[in-house]
Amino acid sequence: MIVRLIKQIYEKLLVACTIFAGVLIIAGIVMIVVDVILRSTGFKPPGFTVAFVEYILLYFVLLSAPYLVREKGHVLTDMVVQNLPPRLKFFIEKFVYLLCIAISILFAIVGGMLCLQAFQLGYMDERSVDIPYWLLYILYPLCFSMIAIEFTRYLIGKDSLFDRDLSLDSV
């Protein structure tokens, strides 16, 4: 029962992150359009647009990455793996999953440490507007942990990251 509850919470978090990523990218597009219109009409645009859009792009990538791993929607070079004998392919897949899990956990830990350090020391990201530097790393622990979870699903599950509809890749 508790495992099912944790799974439901995780599923809702995954969907919430994906929706938030979509909202952020739309907000970034709106900010850029407003900035360009204001410049074109001779008005002074807000000075924070570039800095905010840079953060939005980072957050968009981080928040959408776990969903993309789950749905096999990310870039994957698999032409070598597809032509391997089944047994060797199995072991290489498991190795790739373990490597991705390790890298994701490393990024989660290091990102969390950088976030905490920047928060404790009060670092500021000085651009057109001052932004607390810890905001740069705030999503690393959550998002990279979720990416590790998604790769773990492939590692222990029956689904393969390398089994997907190749006709979609040729579009």
How does DSSP assign 8-64, residue by residue? HHHHHHHHHHHHHHHHHHHHHHHHHHHHHHHHHTTPPPPTTHHHHHHHHHHHHHHHH
Mean pLDDT lowest for which of 4-13, 21-30, 120-129?
Answer: 120-129
State the residue for tokens 């998604």. Answer: 150
Give the range with max mean pLDDT: 23-37, 79-93, 151-165: 23-37
C-alpha 68/C-alpha 83 separation (Å) is 24
By CB atoms closer than 10 A (0-12, 13-18, 19+), residue 143 is buried
Q: What confidence category does residue 53 fall into, taking pLDDT thresholds of 50, 70 and 90?
A: very high
Judge whether residue 75 has pLDDT over 70: no
Q: Which residue has the higher pLDDT, 83 or 30?
A: 30
